[in-house]
Every structure is written in C-alpha cells, then in structure tokens.
Chain A
Amino acid sequence: MTADDRARRTRAADDLCRSAYADHGVPDAGFCLIAVGGYGRGELAPYSDLDAVLVHADHLDAGDFAERLWYPIWDAGHRLDHAVRSLSEMVDAAASDLKVALGLLDLRHLAGDPGLTLRLRTTVLAAWRRDARRRLPRLAQLREQRHELMGELAHASVPDLKEAEGGLRDAGILAALVATWLVDASWPDLEPSRQALLDVRDEVQALAGRPGDRITPEMWDQLAAPLGLADAAAVQVHVRALGRRISHLSRLTWRRVGAMLARPTSVRGARRPELQQAARGVAISRGEVVLDGRVAPSDDAALLLRAATVAAERDLVLAPATAARLARESAPLAEPWSHEGRTLLVRLLAAGRGLLPTWETLDQTGALRLILPEWDRIRALPHASVIHRFTVDRHVVQTCMEASALLADVSRPDLLVVAALLHDIGKGEAGDHAVGGAKVAREVAVRFGFPPGDVDIVASLVRWHLLLAETATTRDPQDPVTVAMITERIPDRVTLSLLLALSQADALATSTKAWSSWRAHLIRDLAWRADQALADRGATLVDDEYADVPLPQSVQADPDRVEVQVVDDREGAVIRVFARDRVGLLADVSAVLAHLRVPVLAARAWPQGEVGVSEWHTGEPAVDPAVLRERIQAEVDGRTQVKERLARPLGHPARVLLRQDGSLTATVLEVRTPDRPGLVHQVCAALAGVGVAVRSAHADTLGPQAVDVFYVQEPTGVPLGASRAAEARAAVLTVLTGAVVDG
C-alpha cells in the first residue's frame, strides 16, 4: 500500500462527507465541514477514524443539521470521530488542549464556507506561533512521557508505529515544531521515512483487519511479501531503520528547541553566529559543534573525530550539516591511525551520555563509514535473543556508555572501550559471533594503530566476551577445572580485569536483569578466583625498564645545570629534561610544564647516576627549549615557586592501587583518574610531600583517563615498607580527591 492508496481512500471519504453535507441542507454561509488529524493530512489508513468537525460562525446555531449530517457517514460503515463547534470554541479548545491544537494544524476544508475554514486556519496557526515558547515545554514533557511508556520504534519488541519514539506521532510533531517558525527540520530527510512508515502501518492494519498500529511478533513474517521485502529479518531492519531515522531527526530538532527556548527572546547586538573555538578546526556555535573554517576536512583527516569528540564530551549537537560535509570531504585517516586519531576515538567512545546522539549523527550522515566501515555489518540488526532490549548496533553504543563508568576499574581504559565497540561486530554472520568477531576486531585494532600486544588483548576480549558470564552460571566456581578454563584462555591479570569490566558493561547494556546482584556476584566471584590463581602462579616481577640516553656535555660538567632538548616528532614533540636527581625534581618540572600549559600525553622519568632524566610527550609542537630551560632552572634553584601558584582542582574520582606484581627494588603505585592539566605535578608533589622519591614514572593518557604508574622508593633507594606505602597512597589520594584518606 502506498501514498496513492491513502489518497484514494481519502478522496472516497471526502466525497462521502461532501455529499452528506450537500444532501442535508447545511447552509453554505457561516458553516464549514473540516477534516483534522490524519484525515486532514489525507493519509487515511484502511481502518482509520474519520476525524471531522462541523464548524459554525459564532452568531449562528448549528441546529439539527449536525445530527442528520453524520448518519450517512456512519451508515457507510466509517468510524467517525465527530464534533460540532463554533469558531471561538475551536480556537479556545486549541488554546487549552495541546492535542487539539496539533490536530488543527492539519485541518483541511471539506465542504461549506471556505472563508470560515480559512479564518479558522489562520487564527489557529497565528495562535500556535504566538504561544509556542510557552507551550513547547509542555509538549516536550508529553513526548517524554509517551516515549517512557511506548519505548523506541527502533528497539521495542512489539513496536507501536504511531506512538513509539521515532514513530508517526513524532514525525507529525516535527511538522508542528516547524510551523512555530522557531526551528527548522530537514523535510527531504524526514518525509520519505514518514511515507515509508505509513506504508507499513497500512499493511499492518490490512493484515490485522482492524485499526491498530502495533507489530506483533508473528506479523514480521507476514509483512515481508506485501512490503516487497525478502523475509521477516528484512522487515525488521526496514522498520527499525525508519524509526531510527525519525528518532534522530526528532531528537535533533528538540535539542534545537531546547537551546532556542534557553536563549533570551530579545537578541541585542549583531545577529551573526558567534564561534567559540573548541579544538583545532572545531568551534561551537549556538550550542552546536561546527567547523571554524580554518581547517579543510580534506587537509586534516582527524577533523571528523575531533569534531565528534568535542560534541560527545560536551554533550552538544554535532551539526548534521557539519557531519555530512565531513563525511563527504574528509580525507581517510592514514592507516594505521596516528596517536591523535586513536586517542580521539577512545575519548569519543568513553564520553558517556553524549556518545549516543553524536554516534547517531555520524551513523545517519554516513560519516561513520570513514571511522568504522565494519559498522554496516551490525547496523539495525535485530538481536536473536529476546533478553536484549536493543538492536545490535544500539546495544554496542550502550555498552560503550556503560563501560565509560568503569574506566577506573581497569589499567587499560582505552582497550576497554574499543573492545566494547567491537565485542558484537561478528553478529549477523553464520557461526559463533565471538569467533568471527575476534577476527574482525583484530583487523580493526591493527587499523586503529594499536601495537601488536594491545591488538591481541582486544581480539581476546572480543573472542571471550561471554566466557565469564556463561561459565559463572553453568560451572562450579570452586572447582579448579572451572578456574583453569578461564586462566587458560585469559592468561594475564590485566586482560582478566578488562574482561570483567566488559562483561559488566555488556550485561548492563543488554538488560537490567542480566546484571542482577545475583548474577553479578557469580561473575565477580569467578573472576576473583581466576585472578587469585593467576596471582599464585607467581607475580611476574617486571622492573621499570629504561634505556640510558647520552647526557649532554653541560650536565656532565655541572650536574646542577638543567638542560632541555626538544625533538619534534609526528605527533607533536618530545621534551627531554636533565637535572640533578632529588626528591621533588619531577614535581618541579611538571609544575613548570603545567604552568606553561604544555599538555602532557605521556611521560617517562628515570635516574642516570646523579642526573634525573625525564621525557615528556606533548601534543604541542611549538615549545622553545631555551625558555623552558630557563624556567625549569629557576624553579629547581628555588628562584621561582610556580608550583605554589598552580590551582589545585580537587574532587575528581581517583583510584590509587599498590601493585603487588611490580618490582623487587621499588614500590609500584598506579593512579587512575580523569586526565587534566597538572595531574602529573599533583601526584609528584604529593609524593615529594611525604619524602618519597620517584625513581621512574610512566604516565599515559588513555582517552579521557590518565593511568600513571610510579616506581617509588625511600630516598635511600629501597622499596617502601607497608605503612610507608599506605602513607604515600593516602597522600596521593588526598591531593587528587580532596578527601582525607586513612592510610
């Protein structure tokens, strides 16, 4: 069934109404018969109600025409939703009831006095525009309540084509929003999807033989032939994709409405767009992320990811026109991806709440193909199991969002979110999706530029992402054989902790039941037993490794002299600092870098005899070594106290672990906390404050999360005792979180 059928049905109904009007002697002046709602739009489904209203001028009385008018329509077998109202009653009803107002926006003249219809229409439309700012918040509220009740068309197991999120009602409301003249929506994007959804609705009614808009499970199969699709799965993909498209446009338009309502009504000054710089080539304009025009997408392959990351991290709209332009014009990222591309992707995936709308925009504009062409394998793919609340692709995005809350649980948050993105990439193919998925994940991880060891971890996480959950409920966790089943497949503790976090994120994204406290307990218990078994195998004592570098002549001659070398590399620059080693040296150097706002991506520090050497990888290519040398020398000599002037942001969540499997000669502290400027300095200063020497430091920014490992010693060169280690840990926690921690 198509638009033609709907038009034909509408014409037949119109004829019936017109002849009823003519036959029953309703006067032509001061009276009119109008169609409203779906009938007004001329989109009658096989079992639609006819919504018709007989309107009369205020000074006239409808008399008994009305009674007579409706009979022939009833007699013809139509379900009629009728009313008789004066013009002012109509206007009042529209003013007090949003649903009436929405229905009247689609009113269409059927018979009688066309002047009266025109007057009604202009009055109603003018009132809608006038009162929009006042009424839209209520409309938004009704919409949210309806979504809460009906779920998403893209995911609900028994979707309602009309009322679900992304359904026909949402599409209709978009038209009403556009009618306010406050926002615009892309009609060429919306209308084909809306028409296609109407086609489905008509077939659903034809199949059911009654009014209704729900697709019950047995209908998917029956709908295939009338819709010209191959099978039930194809119908699902078709309907879900339509729902997703309308949802996307609807959410986008509503976010614009929200931004518009938040702005003051009177705009003073020039009405030109204000651009607020957010990242290289990326700006924010009126709450949307756009390009600032200084960088062309064809010149900067990472621009797409940078724009998406800004949008996701700040939970702003990635302007669809911007995304579409990036999709069209962006140069593909050189393979393997650069550090910047990889970091941006991880930050995007770890952004939490803001990931969903941004990812949807990337998906809908085709920009996602540039990042992950494999996405097409799972796009709008229904899950085989009923326990899932989402389609596969939406589930994957949800898994990343759940994983973003677990970043501090693992030492490799970057691998966690990438595995979350790829864990179900093998779905939709024959065979075990974890096996096929691991193969795809390996290729993707190589393309993202991860080193071989990390690629192995990602592939292993995808291959075994169901292992803990399946084993925990079906095997005896107290049996050593069960534990061995885990440790044979996951032979190291880092991957095991990642697997536990992935299991949790995956389960939470599946349904709340899948991570009940009962199941969580079984899974955690099994992971804990496997972890103990791996620990008992003997801790792999890895000492910090560093290769000596040649010391500059000046430092060899005078160890109290500070020397700075800057080497530009592909990703920015490496700053190498030499100075006499002592407790607090790293705190001084990191304070100067933080004060100069040099962003630190990674840092390494180690001793070479009397000299402490540190390397700082920074995204900032333009650092003047002479200036930096002078500043650091001044700080080291105590001529400046930059560290006293640094703001100390507190209250960040942080986890500080004393690693048992670290070193024989030093105590190993691992710090996990959201990355921010000056972080390395904060930790080094805290350690210096309790008289602990940092022998070496390995600071990494993994997406939004910093994972910094410090090999620390007493100034005499021995590891810390248990109570000193606890003291150091407490000092670091206190400086990061602001909370006083008991050792």
Chain B
Amino acid sequence: MKLVTAVVKPHKWEDVREALETFGITGMTVSEVSGYGRQKGHTEVYRGAEYDIALVPKIKIEIVVEDVDADDVVGIVVKAAQTGRIGDGKVWVSALDSVVRVRTGDRDSAAL
C-alpha cells in the first residue's frame, strides 16, 4: 500500500476531489495547511496593514491506496490540480507498512 500526499491550491480542491471520486477513491484526509516552496513569499502592505505572505495557504490531501493504483491517483491529482502557474503544489508517494480499520480491526487491503 501507498500513501499519496498532495499539496494543492485551495481553489483546486473541489476539482481534485471530483476527479478522485470518479476514479473510485472514496475516502481521504484533507487539511488546511500553509507553507512555501520555490515561489517563496514576500510581505505586502494592504490598506496600512502589513501581512506576511511568506506562508501560502494550501490544501493537503492524504489518500491510502493499493500499490497498483498509486500511479493513476498521482496522475489524476496532477491533472486536476494543474493551472500551469507557479505554486500549483506537489504530490508525493510513500510506502506504508500496514493499515488497520479501527472499527473492525481489518488489516491492510481489507481496511481500505
């Protein structure tokens, strides 16, 4: 099993979710996060109030999938989240040792 983690622009979250649901992914964990990559941030002054835009708001999506599905899911996320502009985000895949469904105690594939 693999953990697919994607960090995407907030407004792309609905598109990503729809695409994943069409593919058959039924569950995911979503969080509001802030961070920066190559685009970096800088400080803006708007209406007298200075605010730090070094940390850019993003949505983080985490999905656990079967090994065979990992590449497809990555492709779907990338396609759905792409705008071609700086700051589109990242997707990465990591290996998982095991997964347990809390309610039943089912393990690994049965727990997905």
Interface residues of A (CB under 8 A from B): 408-410, 473-479, 497, 500, 516-519, 521-522, 524-525, 527-528, 531, 655, 657
For A527, the chain B residues whose CB sits under 8 A away are 46
Contact indicator B34/A476 (Cβ below 8 Å): no
Contact of A500 among B34, B44, B47, B85 (CB under 8 A): B47
- Residues of the B chain whose Cβ atoms lie less than 8 Å from the Cβ of A497: 47
> Which A residues lie within 8 Å of B51 (CB)?
521, 524
How far is it, in angstroms, between the C-alpha of A184 and the C-alpha of B10 when the chains are bound?
A: 56
18 contacts between A and B (CB under 8 A): A409-B48, A409-B49, A474-B11, A475-B11, A476-B11, A477-B11, A478-B83, A517-B34, A521-B53, A521-B57, A522-B10, A522-B57, A524-B46, A524-B51, A525-B44, A528-B46, A531-B46, A531-B47
Q: Determine if B66 is an interface residue (Cβ-Cβ < 8 Å).
A: no
B44 / chain A contacts, CB cutoff of 8 Å: 525, 528
Q: In the complex the two chains form, what is the Cα distance from A246 to B39 in whole Å?
A: 55
Task: Give A237 to B51 CA distance when docked, in angstroms.
Answer: 41
Complex CA distance for A531 and B56, rounded to whole angstroms? 19
**A473 with B49: CB separation less than 8 A:** no
- Is the pair B55, A409 in contact by a Cβ cutoff of 8 Å? no
What 19 additional pairs, Cβ within 8 angstroms, besides A408-B48, A409-B49? Answer: A409-B48, A473-B10, A473-B11, A474-B11, A476-B9, A476-B83, A478-B83, A478-B87, A517-B34, A518-B32, A519-B32, A519-B57, A521-B53, A521-B55, A521-B56, A521-B57, A525-B53, A531-B47, A657-B48
Q: Does B14 reach chain A (CB closer than 8 Å)?
A: yes
State the Cβ distance, A256 to closest chain B Cβ, in Å. Answer: 41
Q: Is the interface of B mostly helix, strand, loop or mixed?
A: mixed
Q: Which residue of B lies closest to A655 (CB)?
A: B48
Query: CB-CB < 8 A to B12: which residues of A?
Result: 476
Residues of A within 8 A of B14 (CB): 474
CA of A475 to CA of B55, assembled, Å: 19
Contacts of B33 in A (CB 8 A): 518
Q: How far is the CB of A18 from chain B (nearest CB, A)?
A: 54
A463 to chain B, nearest CB (A): 21
Q: How far apart are the CA atoms of A521 and B55 in the complex, in Å?
A: 9
| List of 4 A-B pairs having minimum Cβ-Cβ separation, nearest first | A528-B46, A518-B32, A518-B57, A497-B47
In B39-85, the 8 Å CB interface with A consists of: 44, 46-49, 51, 53, 55-57, 83, 85
Determine if B47 and A409 form an interchain contact, defined as CB atoms under 8 angstroms apart: yes
A719 CA to B11 CA, complexed, in Å: 44
Q: What CA separation (Å) do A494 and B72 show in the bound complex?
A: 48
Please, which residues of chain A bring their CB within 8 A of the CB of B56?
521
Q: Which of A475, A476, A479 has the most CB of B within 10 A?
A: A476
Given the complex, which residues of A lie within 8 Å of B47, measured CB to CB? 409-410, 497, 500, 531
Question: What is the CB-to-nearest-CB distance from A576 to chain B, in angstroms, rounded to a whole number?
Answer: 34
A475 to B53, CA, bound (A): 18
CA of A657 to CA of B47, assembled, Å: 9
Q: Which A residues lie within 8 Å of B34 (CB)?
A: 517-518, 521
Distance of B101 from chain A, by nearest CB (Å) = 28
Chain B residues within 8 Å of A408, by CB: 48
Alpha-carbon separation in the docked complex, A474 to B14 (Å): 8
Q: How far is the CB of B106 from chain A (nearest CB, A)?
A: 31
Interface centre among B47, B48, B83 (most CB of A within 10 A): B47
A390 to chain B, nearest CB (A): 23
Chain A residue at minimum C-beta to C-beta distance from B9:
A476
CA distance A479 to B85 in the complex (A): 9
Query: Nearest chain A CB to B105's CB is how many angstroms away?
Result: 31
Which one of B9, B11, B55, B83 has the highest number of Cβ atoms from chain A below 10 Å of its Cβ? B11
How close is A413's CB to chain B, nearest CB, in angstroms? 13
**Nearest chain A CB to B88 CB, angstrom units:** 10
What is the CA–CA distance of A522 and B11 in the complex, to the nearest angstrom? 10
Q: Which of A497, A516, A524 has the most CB of B within 10 A?
A: A524
**With A and B bound together, what is the CA distance between A531 and B44 in angstroms?**
12
Tell me, in angstroms, the Cα distance from A259 to B55 when the chains sit together.
Answer: 49
Provide the bound-state CA to CA distance between A500 and B55, in Å: 20
Contacts of A479 in B (CB 8 A): 83
Cα distance A669–B48 in the bound complex, in angstroms: 13
Within 8 A of A (CB), among B2-58: 9-12, 14, 32-34, 44, 46-49, 51, 53, 55-57
Chain A residue with the shortest CB-CB distance to B45: A528
- Smallest CB-CB separation from A521: which chain B residue? B57
Which residues from B are CB-within-8-Å of A517?
Answer: 34
State in angstroms the CA–CA spacing of A497 and B87 once bound together: 26
- Bound-state Cα–Cα, A497 to B32, Å: 26
Q: Residues of B contacting A531 with CB < 8 Å? A: 46-47
Instruction: For the complex, give the distance between the alpha carbons of A408 and B47 in Å.
Output: 10
Residues of chain A within 8 A of B57, CB atoms compared: 518-519, 521-522
Q: Provide the residues of chain B in CB contact with A473, threshold 8 Å.
A: 10-11
Q: Give the chain A neighbours of B85 by CB distance below 8 A.
A: 476, 478
Chain A residues whose CB sits within 8 angstroms of the CB of B11 once the complex forms: 473-477
CA distance A605 to B55 in the complex (A): 46
Which of chain A's residues has its CB closest to B51's CB?
A524
Kindly state the separation between the CA atoms of A478 and B49 in the bound complex, as whole angstroms.
21
Residues of B within 8 A of A516 (CB): 32
* A-side contacts of B46, CB under 8 Å: 524, 527-528, 531
Residue of A nearest to B47 (CB): A497
Q: Closest chain B residue to A670 by CB distance?
A: B48
Q: Which residue of B lies closest to A501 (CB)?
A: B47
Q: How far is the CB of B98 from chain A (nearest CB, A)?
A: 32
Chain B residue, CB-CB nearest to A524: B51
Q: Whole-angstrom distance from the CB of B95 to the nearest CB of chain A?
A: 30
Measured between beta carbons, the chain B residues less than 8 angstroms from A478 are 83, 85, 87
Report the minimal beta-carbon distance from B100 to chain A, rounded to whole angstroms.
Answer: 30
Q: How far is the CA of A80 from the CA of B45 in the complex (A)?
A: 67
